[in-house]
Amino acid sequence: MPTLTIDGTEVTVEPGTTVLQACEEVGVEVPRFCYHERLSIAGNCRMCLVDMEKAPKPIASCAMPAGDGMVIHTNTERVKKAREGVMEFLLINHPLDCPICDQGGECDLQDQAMAFGRGKNRFDENKRAVDDKEMGPLISTTMTRCIHCMRCVRFSEEVAGVPDMGALYRGENMQITTYLEKTLDSEMSGNVVDLCPVGALTSKPYAFTARSWELKHTESIDVMDAVGSNIRVDTRGAAVMRILPRLHEDINEEWISDKTRYVFDGLKARRLDTPYVRKSKKLTAASWGDAFKAVKSKLKGVKGDQIAAIVGDQADMESMAALKDLLASLGSTRIECRQDGSAADASVRGGYIMNGGIAGVEDADYLLIVGANPRLEAPTLNTRIRKAVRHFGLKVGNIGNAEDLTYRVDEFGDDASILTAVLSGDHEAAQKLKAAQNPIIMVGQAALSGDDGAAILKATRDIADKYCMRENWNGFNMLHNAAARVGGLDLGLTTEGGVDSILDDAEAGKTKVVFLLGADEVNTAALKDTTVVYIGTHGDEGVKHADIILPAAAYTEKFGTYANTEGRFQRTIKATFAPGEAREDWTIFRALSDVLGNTLPYDTLDQLRARIEKDVPGFNDLDVLPAAEWGDFGKKGDISSGGIAPAIENFYHTNPIARASQIMADCIDARGGLVEEATGTNG
Amino acid sequence: MTTAPAFVWTAENEAAAQKHIAKYPAGRQQSAVMPLLDIAQRQNGGHLTLEIMEYIADYLDMAPIKVQEVATFYTMYNHKPIGKHHVQVCGTTPCWLRGSDDIIAACKKKLGVEMGQTTEDGMFTLSEVECAGACVNAPVVAINDDYYEDLTADSITQILDALANGKDVKAGPQVGRQTSAPLGGVTTLKDFASEGEGA
């Protein structure tokens, strides 16, 4: 453990710490451009020069390992001069276009030029000009502003795992580009915008729409996937202008996927902003009162067992609980949250969450993926797996579709029946799991959605039980795709036969009224002759056969609790008001219950949350990785051989908000149009 | 538009490429990218194409952009077709002090092209390069793999003439001195010189 002195303060740091990190530990700020905690050290911007005693010249603190007995000064005349010199060089070719630059106001170069620059330039030659590069629909480039810190290049190679960026030519002619100026083909590409310390790479959809200082920041949670990435929603007035990541070491570190970041324009398009009632086959706008009356008249004479509800992928737990209570007051318990027909079993919590946690991937040394594609289903988790593979020696095996996950994977074949062999120990994967210190089996929804889903669940449970249990280590991890799913399972929203049986009964006329809470991934053709009450945000699949539409709030417009795939409870914060007449979902159910004559026993969100906590222990312990109980779940059965259909066909179109987003459509176009139109059935 | 036949190693070059790759530990084959680019450039008659860079990227199991980075960084990789003789005149300070401006003027006059251009018959491409590293024999011109040193406007014109006519030209100093030994013969160790090497 080296001990060094920084500006007169002694500090002892871990071996391998750099001088710059040591400076941070004692609270001394060192300016930098190329250095980034999560990327490899480049040492090419030279902004972090500090003085080291006995060294003939200033040292680059980001690249210098802290040594015992070093004496570092960061506030000497020489350091000041060095920083001014570096800054002056950087500004030689950097245009003075801050007033028209989107980075203005949140620019590292601007800030550091203010703090460490001379304020005057002695260079009176022409500045160099660089052609802008085409990087697809998400990233706007102004390459003249580039200072060649290489963060984007290192990010794409190291974190995103798509080594398509590089620096061509040399010296003054050096240019950063993507290979042949193609779209950076990564689900994480938007992060280069955050990484760029200047205005060379900025957000294309956000371009020239707002200034950073006029935005209101709201710290919230993402619902595009089940990871629950921490986000900051930036709004101006009633509009969400952009979404940025927030640091959460255990979930998303500081990355978010492109869908999370750029879906915001979907919040403004195709919105349901007033209630609708179907009158003579045509949906007509109605008042809330009329809509509620219509629901009441449709429910007249309908028995409890003729009522069912399907919950969508982005519902918050409060809404789900209120809907469950509403149905209960109507005499029905038939409410289903597994839109994709997954066999996930709500009986044992340890059986439907990621027991090891997302950060736990870094402690693991073997990971067996069963029917999941983390790259599309949870891109931030995938970068975590990639990090573990690169730095912590994680080995990965896969049963299911062979996809490029950006790291090395041993493909065992696209055949779920291999699980039987793994369980009996006659498979390579079994040996690997057995030999590993901290093995993980990660089951995706794709594997559980088939007819033999319950059998696969049982098999993976038994494999986990047999090979993946260590002291303080439960290696059974379920990967969800839907933000609402774990919350729904926590509330016990499962039914015998699942969504298929609800749809079958509706088609057969046995079910008369179906409530859809943002359920847009089911094929509603079966509900043609059923009374459908749709509560949701967008005019998507769910409204096709709806008889009554009750407009609700999207995730940026309400206070809602979501349990992520780890079972961690997190809450969204209302950043804007829902458009028009739309209301927060739970208040809709509360108001409707009043009209139906059986008022739900809560008037405030806090009362509702107190009610949920009775059913879901730990509901109010936010952001805690829970230790879940373990038990038996799934159903023993035959696993048919054959491929596992992927859970996500089109990463950019997995939910109604994304399908309404023009930016997501542009992303698909840029990749040659993966799928013409979303089917709404989602596998 | 006709498409050129896909680039593949000749058997000989493949062997040479493998020899370079074998210099590096297993899994570090990417280190051989520079010699391989050179071999490929020679095989292709003096310049690289995108297709060749992608072929080498694939051959070495590396990202195409990484090969492109290397190939665009170094000036000795050409990205446009060049003439049979690539005349690379050094214009850096020592050569310039020793009259590289005259050499350049002579080349331009003889070949009838400007810097960076190729003669119409496809025989010569003229380029100016940075320090060739043979300052002691300045001014210097490199034509393909050979250096022609201690040049004058006359001598470079004669060399270009000879090359144009397909004659052999003596590479190295054009003033009769041995490599970079002093002009006008040895000044020290004269006995040694008269008895042995360089006599």
pLDDT digits (tens, 9 = 90+) for A298-326: 999 999 999 999 999 999 999 999 999 99
Strand order in the sheet with A282-285: A282-285, A276-279, A548-551, A531-536, A513-517, A307-311, A335-336
Please compute the mean of the pLDDT values over residues A422-438 and round it to a whole number: 94
Which residues of chain B lie closer than 8 angstroms to A183, CB-CB?
none
Which backbone phi and psi does A442 adopt, to 5 degrees? -115, 115
Percentage of the residues of chain B whose pLDDT score is greater than 70: 94
pLDDT digits (tens, 9 = 90+) for A83-102: 999 999 999 999 999 999 99
| Chain A interface residues (partner B, CB cutoff 8 A) | 157, 163-170, 177-180
Residue B73 to residue A170, Cβ atoms within 8 A: yes
Contact of B66 with chain A, judged by CB distance below 8 Å, is answered with yes
Task: Pick the closest to residue A609 from A571, A567, A568 (CA basis).
Answer: A571
Contact of B61 with chain A, judged by CB distance below 8 Å, is answered with no
pLDDT at A677: 47
Which has more pLDDT, A27 or A677? A27
Residue B68 to residue A170, Cβ atoms within 8 A: no
pLDDT at A405: 95
pLDDT at A643: 87
Please determine, for residue A35, whether its predicted confidence score (pLDDT) is greater than 80.
yes
pLDDT at A436: 95
pLDDT digits (tens, 9 = 90+) for A220-252: 999 999 999 999 999 999 999 999 999 999 999
CA distance A534 to A622: 30
Contact of B76 with chain A, judged by CB distance below 8 Å, is answered with no
Q: How confident is the model at residue A268 (pLDDT cuts 50, 70, 90)?
A: very high
b/e string for A516-526 if b means 16 or more Cβ within 10 A? Answer: bbbbbbbebeb
pLDDT at B196: 58
Read off the tokens for A362: 């870094």
Please determine, for residue B198, whether its predicted confidence score (pLDDT) is greater than 70.
no
| Cα Rg of chain B, angstroms | 20
Please determine, for residue A441, whether its predicted confidence score (pLDDT) is greater than 70.
yes
Please determine, for residue A392, whether its predicted confidence score (pLDDT) is greater than 70.
yes
pLDDT digits (tens, 9 = 90+) for B57-80: 999 999 999 999 999 999 999 999
pLDDT digits (tens, 9 = 90+) for A499-535: 999 999 999 999 999 999 999 999 999 999 999 999 9
Residue type, B160: L
Which residues of chain A lie closer than 8 angstroms to B30, CB-CB?
none
CA distance A549 to A286: 9
b/e string for B70-107 if b means 16 or more Cβ within 10 A? Answer: bbbbeeebbeeebbbbbbbbbbbebbeebbbeebbebb
| Closest chain A residue by Cα to residue B77 | A169
pLDDT digits (tens, 9 = 90+) for B101-141: 999 999 999 999 999 999 999 999 999 999 999 999 999 99
Please determine, for residue B191, whether its predicted confidence score (pLDDT) is greater than 80.
no
Residue corresponding to tokens 């949670």: A221
Which DSSP string corresponds to A250-274? Answer: TTTBT---HHHHHGGGGGTSSB--S
Task: Pick the closest to residue A14 from A62, A64, A67, A50 (CA basis).
Answer: A67
Q: How confident is the model at residue B180 (pLDDT cuts 50, 70, 90)?
A: confident
Handedness of CA A11, A14, A15, A16 (dihedral sign): negative
Contact of B69 with chain A, judged by CB distance below 8 Å, is answered with yes
ipTM at complex level: 0.87
Q: Is residue A224 within 8 Å of residue A263, measured between CB atoms?
A: yes
pLDDT at A393: 95
Residue A166 to residue B68, Cβ atoms within 8 A: yes
Please compute the mean of the pLDDT values over residues A558-585 and round it to a whole number: 96
Interface-testing mutation among A154, A179, A184, with chain B (most B C-beta atoms within 10 A): A179
Please determine, for residue A642, whether its predicted confidence score (pLDDT) is greater than 90.
no
Q: How confident is the model at residue A680 (pLDDT cuts 50, 70, 90)?
A: very low
Residue A157 to residue B64, Cβ atoms within 8 A: no
pLDDT at A122: 92
Interface-testing mutation among B49, B67, B69, with chain A (most A C-beta atoms within 10 A): B69
pLDDT at A413: 93
pLDDT at A16: 92
Read off the tokens for B88: 């690379």
Q: What is the largest CA-CA distance in chain A?
A: 91
pLDDT at B3: 59
Closest approach of A167 to chain B, Cα-based (Å): 6
Which backbone phi and psi does A154 adopt, to 5 degrees? -65, -40
Residue B66 to residue A163, Cβ atoms within 8 A: yes
Specify the DSSP element, H or E, that contains A327.
helix A317-329
Q: Is residue A377 within 8 Å of residue A444, measured between CB atoms?
A: yes
pLDDT digits (tens, 9 = 90+) for A482-497: 999 999 999 999 999 9
Please compute the mean of the pLDDT values over residues A316-337 and round it to a whole number: 96
Residue A166 to residue B65, Cβ atoms within 8 A: yes
Q: Is residue A227 within 8 Å of residue A358, measured between CB atoms?
A: yes
CA distance A238 to A217: 13
Q: How confident is the model at residue B199 (pLDDT cuts 50, 70, 90)?
A: very low
Beta pairing class for A513-517 and A476-479 = unpaired
pLDDT digits (tens, 9 = 90+) for A611-638: 999 999 999 999 999 888 899 999 998 8
Q: How confident is the model at residue A675 (pLDDT cuts 50, 70, 90)?
A: very low
pLDDT at A262: 97
Residue corresponding to tokens 């509603």: A524
Q: Which residues pair with A279 in a beta bridge?
A: A282
Which has more pLDDT, A199 or B181? A199
Closest approach of A93 to chain B, Cα-based (Å): 20
Please determine, for residue B181, whether its predicted confidence score (pLDDT) is greater than 90.
no
Please determine, for residue B2, whether its predicted confidence score (pLDDT) is greater than 80.
no
pLDDT at B194: 64
pLDDT digits (tens, 9 = 90+) for A133-179: 999 999 999 999 999 999 999 999 999 999 999 999 999 999 999 99
Q: How confident is the model at residue B186 (pLDDT cuts 50, 70, 90)?
A: confident
Q: Which residues pair with A235 in a beta bridge?
A: A216, A240
CA distance A147 to A136: 21
Q: How confident is the model at residue A682 (pLDDT cuts 50, 70, 90)?
A: very low
Give the alpha-carbon dihedral of A589, A592, A597, A600, to 10 degrees. 20
